[in-house]
Amino acid sequence: MSNNEYLLFYTAVACYAGASILYLGYLLSRNSLLGDIATGVTIVGLIANTATLGLRMYIAGHAPFSNMYEYSTSFAWGIILIYLFAEFKYKYKVMGAFVVPVGLLLIASTDMLGISKETRPLMPDLQSNWLTAHVVVAIFAYGAYAFSFGLAIMYFIKDSLVKSRSRGILNEHLPSAELLDELSYRFIVFAFPLMSLVIITGAIWAEFAWGRYWSWDPKETWSLITWLVYSAYLHARLTYGWKGHKAAALAIIGFATVLFTYFGVNMVLPGLHSYA
């Protein structure tokens, strides 16, 4: 890792950490200035995150998708980008207190888990445009799933506060449970076809790399499990009218499978996709 990349990477980490604290302060105080500062700091973090990826791409000579450090930095970028889009579209800055920390934990995981940040030569299996398409689509799918996860957590908190008839700032500041449920659903609807493309492009890449479309590799299996969980979410909602607690619980379970597909497979289960 070059000195410039080091500086950019930790600028992004610091900004996401600062923004997480500021969004929490905004959530608990209703101080609009804190919310505006939090948004500004998040934008600076996204710019630094983008520059980190761009510099890594320039130095390495390939897309930054060759190891867990590059994946983590890319997925954090996707989460924050999706979040900022949602904030500007729906005008609910309180969502930042639940979503930005997810991006922070993902990018900071490279330090917490001792993942190497050094540039490595691109393995032959990774020298494919299908891999680039596979990971780019995954970045946006996982970013939207992370956002729906944050909203599901907010839903449970809001519902609990309403049932307890709380008159505190937190209850007043959070959007209605019905809106949180609807927004979570919208982002899962957005992410689901992208997740389908993740599996399709991954299968095509696997055929080029290993001569077969599907081998029941742990990451392939867990990607399929993730797809099935979100399929169940959409089927239950559209067919049986699942909303509220059941839908929020499935959104949380779904994102748990996303995290295991990423961390669990790479660090626990050996397979063709383990490049840590």
Q: Per residue in 164-178, pLDDT tens?
A: 988 888 888 899 999
* 1 plus 116 within the same structural domain: yes
Out of 122, 154, 174, pick the residue that ends a domain: 122
Out of 78, 102, 122, pick the residue that ends a domain: 122
Q: Provide the domain limits for residue 251.
A: 125-276
* 133 plus 112 within the same structural domain: no
Q: What number is the average pLDDT over the span 119-138?
A: 77
- pLDDT given at position 238: 92
Out of 68, 91, 122, pick the residue that ends a domain: 122
Q: Kindly report the CA angle at 119 between 116 and 121, in degrees rounded to 5?
A: 120
CA 123, CA 205: separation in Å to the nearest integer? Answer: 14
pTM equals 0.90
- pLDDT given at position 126: 67
| pLDDT band with cut points at 50, 70 and 90 for residue 202 | confident
Q: Per residue in 75-95, pLDDT tens?
A: 999 999 999 999 999 999 999
* 198 plus 110 within the same structural domain: no
| pLDDT band with cut points at 50, 70 and 90 for residue 247 | very high
Evaluate whether 186 touches 140 at the Cβ level (below 8 Å): no
| pLDDT band with cut points at 50, 70 and 90 for residue 207 | confident
* 134 plus 243 within the same structural domain: yes
CA distances to 62, 63, 131, 151 from 54, in Å: 10, 9, 18, 30
- pLDDT given at position 189: 97
